Structures are given as structure tokens and as C-alpha cells.
Amino acid sequence: MPRLSAQPAASPRTLRFSVLGPLAVHRDDRALPLGPLKQRVVLATLLGSANCLVPVDALTDAVWPEEPPRTARKNLQVYVSALRLLLADDDRERPRLTHSHGGYVLRVAEDEFDLLLFRSLVRAAEGQSPRAAARLLRQALDLWKGSALGEDLRQSPRLAEESERLELRRLTAYESWAEAELELGGASAVVEGLRDLVEQHPLRERLRSAWMRALGGAGRQAEALAVYDDYRQLLARELGLGPSAAMVARYRAVLAGDDPAAADRKAGPQDVPAASGPSRAAAVALPSDLVDFTGHGEELRHLLDLLEDGGAGGIVLLSGPAGAGKTTLAVRAAHLLGDRFADGRIRVSLRGADGSARPLPAVLAEIGERTGQAGLSGPEAWRAWLAAHRVLVVLDDVPEERAVRHLLPTGGQGRVVLTARGQLGGLAPVRRISVPPLGTAEALQLLAGIVGRNRVRADREAALRIVRACGGSPLAVRVSGMRLAVLRHVPLREFADRLTDPAGTLDELTSGDVSVRYRLARGWDALPQECGRDAVRLAEGTGDGPFGLSEAAEALGCDERHAVRVVEKLIDAGIVTSPGSEVTAHAALYELPCLVRLYALATGQESPVPVSG
């Protein structure tokens, strides 16, 4: 979700919002009555994305997870109005709860909200000395007053997932605090707390390792060795796996009576107990990072934040038309986060060479091979391993929800980035990032980096025509640059003339074995037949640039009520976009991306669409 403007400063009569325990709001020292359950669900959902836009559909899904009533939108407005009155303060210029672009934003300052303060303290502890880190993490953990959001709000599946996510963040912070205390020699202070948590999370390796270290530091060597043996047998029985190299190193340190703090420095492929299996280095199976990565800076920052934060179960979807740069963006983030995912970073394509969806067993087999877990017994074994390891997986070019539903984490340390042309609306919880076209300046920069800055500078007008003909598609700009780098004798002006002839644009956007037309065709061929027909009608009947619902209805030959369903189905399929910068306060606008429009027009000429009677 997009970040909005800076958080407001706390007012003199400040509110205090709490979700790290039962949902509560206090004004000064007085608890405010938060109203009926559905109203509290609305408030908790808004707080879960504080200072970000929460779409009305997300609120509806949280309040009515199965079948919303016909009056759902009106009921939401009633709940929001009641919350506005309840949370009203003296700042008339910046109301707390506002409506914007089809959703609501609840503005909360860091010192007013326990979750924001918790995140801030955890971030501040990173990179600090053990003493400073222990102090900051203890402050963060002391903010918790019980299970996140309490019990009643977990009736909403969306909030139940949010509660689980928050509990995992609490667990991670506890692990970091325990490790800092152990560095300071405080084994006795953490050993019993770690025992309780290991009983609740038996497959969580970081907890086991800290507990072994605490027991060893407290002089209870035999118990520490028993913890390792129990974990080894559990992994073999449940997952068919052996402990990691770091865990084996902890075992060796305890066995030898070494300083527990030295164990992490000894992790390596040395001799291990026979039953534990060989140790393994972190798996890295990624395409090369582009040295000329250009644009999408805001989307990259948002993606990095979400992957470090772990929201929505650690799943992020990058969506956009073919050639928008989704895979490049995901791979860039994976390279930048190498230090965060010590157990591996991999990319696996969900489509075969012909563009068809790959069967789940084949995908699982590749994942197992790339992560060193060959012979995974099924999706559950994979998800358990993913939850227990700090690994980042890019599942690329997802054709539909069912292709990945059984591969996604349900919590834990693993993170997954999905790339897809469509919105995959049937997946939840997922954080979504739309990958927009490059701006003109960014596209020019990319082109100049390939063909040479002097060549672009010598005919900037022609270069502008080239990138505009590419519609901001990084793939198309890159292919144009690759072609021009080979055709050194062709002036930019001549190539621009070729591209700006709609009949020949897609033919020109080919360089060697890289073809924009082929990339578009793979997505188009996977569409239901009626979606293809409707896309052709829109391309033929709406012209270049954004169009409104009335224009869509005329092009489709139907009324607006039916047209909106068609357009939204095409949005879900990744064929139509909704350009945020073009949305007005009065009506939504839609757009066929430039190259998608050209492909649809070419398809319509090959197979004329019958006119509706």
C-alpha cells in the first residue's frame, strides 16, 4: 500500500492506540468506548495499516469475510463516522480519519501507537552493541500486554492473520533480545523463557539454538545436548531434513565446552553427528542483477520495507503488464537483501518455456533442488521448512492463484515475492505493489545507458519519440537500445519513425532472441477467450490514453453496469490498468498500456471481432 504524507505530531490531549494486546484507545488516562464488534474490526484494520490507504474492499473483507450484505458500504460509512467522532481532536486542519481514492487513512503518530513504537525500537536495536540492543528490545517487548488484538477480533480471518503476523514479530524480537542477553552473560535470565517458547514453536531453529546456548552457559551441558538431539530427531521425522550448519556448530561448541558466543563463528562444513546429515551453504540461485537498473525507486523501497517488515505473512505481489520490469525489480531486491536471508535466495519460474503453467510437483522439485531439500514430500513439508529458515523465494510469472496457493508461507522467517501480470485477487493475505511504466526521464536514462549518452544528446527529440513509443515499458526500451547498439548506422530519427508507425512497432521491438511481441503473446494466449475479445473491442473503440466507463461501455456495446465488470475482470488479468495519476474525484479512469493496445489491435485485425447486435 502506498505511503502517504508524514505522520502527525502528537497533540496535547493525545490519544494512545494499542494493538499489542487487546485493542484499546485511551484519551489521556481514560479508555474510550470503541463500539460494537464490527466497528472495532474496522478500527483494527485501519490501525494495521496506519498512515496508509486501506481500500474499502479490504475493510469489507475484514468485517464480512464471507458474504457482505447489500448495505455493506453504507454500514462501513456509519462505522467510520462513529470512529471520526470518537477520535476527533483539536487539529481541524489534519483530521485523523480521512477518505481518499476509494479507501480510508487513519493518521497516527509513532508516540501514540504501541505498534509503531515497537517497530521503531526493534529497528533502533539493529547494529547496536549487545547492551544497547538488549535495552531497546526489552523496551519493545514491554509494550506487549497480551495476545495481539485480543481474542474477540480474531473472529475476522483478516485480523486473525494480522494477529499471527504480529505474534511472529514479537517472537523474533524476543529471540534477538535473548541473544543480546546471552552475549552479556545473562543465561539464567533467559533460559526458562526460551524453554516455554520452544515448546510452543518446536521447529523454530533460532529458538532452539538460543536455548542450547543458555543451557550451556548455565552449566547444564547435558540438557543442552539433549535439546539438540530432540531437534535432530524431530526434523528427520517431520521433514526428512537435518539441522543447519549453524545448529551443528552450536552442538559442537556445547559438546566441547567452548564459549557459547564462539559457536556462530565456527559454523562450517566440518564433521557432524552422522544422523544429522551434511551441512550446507546458503542457496543462491538468482539471475544476475542488472548493472543499469533504472527507475522504480519508490517501488523498490516499498518492496524492501515489506520484506524486512514481514507483513501479510511475508508475501508480496508485484503486478503489472508484460515487460513492466516486475522480475527485474524482484531480483534487484533479492540481491540487496543478501545479508537478511542467510539461508538462501532463489528464483523459480511458474511457467514453462511455452508460457503454460508448470505443474506443482515440478515446481516443488525445482525448489527442493535449489534449496538443497531434494525429495520434499509435498507442500506442507516445504512450508514448514520455509517457516523455519531465513530464505527469500521469488516465484516468477505466476499464471493464477492455484499455481502458488500451496507454496506460500503461513508465518515464520521465510519471505516470498510473487510476480504476475494479474492481481491474483484470490490470494490473501498479500501485500500488493503495482509496477508502473517508467517515467520519460527514467526511460531516456535507460536508453542512453545502452546506446550511449552522446548519441541520445545529439538527437534528444528522436530519443523522446522512441521511449514514448515504448510506452514506458523497460523491456521495450531495453530492446530498442539493444537494437540500436547493433545498428550503429541507423539514425535515432529513422528508428523513431519506424516505432511511431503503429503497424510496425511490435515488429521493430525485437533484438536477437528477445521479442516484445513474444512476451505479450505468452500472456495473451493464457487469457480466457472472452477476455481477449473484450480487450480487442476496448483497443479498437477507446483510442490512446485513459478512458472512462462510458467510453468502455460504448466500445463493448453494453451498458455501464456490465462494462465495469468486464473492465475489472481485465484489470484482474493484467490487461487493463488504472493510472493513479489520472484518477479524478468524480470518476475512475482506465487504460490499456501502449504495447498491449498495439498487440490487441493486431490480434483484432488477424481475427476480426464480430460486432454485437
Tell me which of 105 and 6 has the higher pLDDT: 105
Mean per-residue pLDDT, 88-111? 77
pLDDT at 277 over 70: no
pLDDT score of 305: 83
C-alpha angle 192-197-198 in degrees, rounded to nearest 5 = 95
pLDDT at 6 over 50: no
pLDDT score of 612: 44
Q: Taking the C-alpha atoms of 389, 390, 394 and 400 in order, what is their torsion angle to the nearest 10 degrees?
A: 50
| pTM higher than 0.75 | no
pLDDT score of 312: 58
pLDDT score of 89: 65
| Full 3-state SS string of 390-422 | CEEEEEECCCCHHHCHHHCCCCCCCEEEEEECC
Tell me which of 297 and 22 has the higher pLDDT: 22
Q: What is the CA radius of gyration of the chain?
A: 27
pLDDT score of 605: 65
pLDDT at 509 over 70: yes
pLDDT at 129 over 90: no
pLDDT at 7 over 80: no
- Nearest 5°: phi and psi at 490? -90, 120
Relative to beta strand 344-349, strand 97-100 is: unpaired
pLDDT at 1 over 80: no
C-alpha 267/C-alpha 535 separation (Å) is 56
Instruction: State what percent of residues in the chain have pLDDT above 70.
Output: 88
Instruction: State what percent of residues in the chain have pLDDT above 90.
Output: 17
For the chain, give the mean pLDDT.
Answer: 82
pLDDT score of 314: 85
Report the greatest alpha carbon distance in the chain.
Answer: 86
The total number of residues shown for the chain amounts to 613
pLDDT score of 94: 65
Fold classification of 527-606 (topology level): Arc Repressor Mutant, subunit A (1.10.10)
Q: Which CATH class is domain 284-434?
A: alpha beta
pLDDT score of 5: 35
The SS3 call for residue 31 is strand
Domain boundaries, the chain: 284-434, 440-518, 527-606
> Rounded to whole angstroms, what are the CA distances from 483 to 206, 385, 512?
51, 44, 8
pLDDT score of 526: 74
Q: Indicate the range of 147-161, 236-250, 560-574, 588-602 predicted with least confidence.
A: 236-250
Within 10 angstroms of residue 123's Cβ, the number of other Cβ atoms is 13
| 158 closest CA partner among 54, 241, 77, 79 | 54
- Please enumerate, as own/partner, the contacts of 544-551 that have beta carbons within 8 Å and a separation of 24 or more: 544/594, 544/597, 545/591, 546/579, 546/582, 546/589, 546/590, 546/591, 547/589, 547/590, 547/591, 548/587, 548/588, 548/589, 548/590, 549/587, 549/588, 549/590
C-alpha 556/C-alpha 559 separation (Å) is 9
- The tens digit of pLDDT for each residue in 514-572 reads 888 888 887 787 778 888 899 899 988 887 888 888 898 999 999 989 988 999 888 88
pLDDT score of 139: 92
Q: Indicate the range of 34-48, 439-453, 543-557, 598-612 predicted with least confidence.
A: 598-612
Question: Which of 19-33, 43-57, 247-261 has the highest average model confidence (pLDDT)?
Answer: 19-33
| 312 closest CA partner among 421, 115, 146, 158 | 158
Mean per-residue pLDDT, 140-154? 89
